Amino acid sequence: MAIQYWRRRDRYYRLVGSRCKDCGDEFFPPVYKCKGCGSEHVADKEMPRTGRIVTYTQLHEPLPGFEAQAPLYLAVVKLDNGARVLTQIVDSPDDSVRTGAKVEATVRRMRVDGESGQIIYGYKFVVRS
């Protein structure tokens, strides 16, 4: 298991991004230099756990390791602060997954490490009415 995952695991559970101290723009995933004004004065910022689907696609032939989840939805979600997240939509009826649908972050199992058997969790989103 990569040590990097353990050092940064709070980012996966809490949706930690970045906020520019100079212009106030917020980004996810975290950045080290503001994309808006170019400032290097950025700090960690927990992102909102709610937003709306901007666009999505349904995968019928997922990548290796995700076969049991087929078909699955991948979506770009615009969080309530304007930051965008590429994420999986889970536990939602097919007819509820649509552009503009309200969503909320949840923590779900991502995978199991083959060597250690460690279960790795991360964020996914659920449609909320």
The total number of residues shown for the chain amounts to 129
Q: What is the pLDDT of residue 7?
A: 58
Q: What is the mean pLDDT of residues 7-25?
A: 80
Handedness of CA 122, 123, 124, 126 (dihedral sign): positive
Q: What is the pLDDT of residue 1?
A: 46
- pLDDT tops 60 at residue 69: yes
Q: What is the pLDDT of residue 66?
A: 75
Lowest mean pLDDT: which of 33-42, 78-87, 92-101, 120-129? 120-129
Q: What is the mean pLDDT of residues 47-68?
A: 89
- pLDDT tops 60 at residue 8: no
User: Domain 3-127 is of which CATH architecture?
Assistant: Beta Barrel (2.40)
Q: What is the mean pLDDT of residues 47-65?
A: 91
Read off φ and ψ for residue 8, nearest 5 degrees: -115, 15
What is the spatial distance between Cα 110 and Cα 129, in angstroms, rounded to a whole number?
25
Q: What is the mean pLDDT of residues 11-24?
A: 86
pTM of the model: 0.82
pLDDT > 70 in the chain, percent: 90
- pLDDT tops 70 at residue 4: no
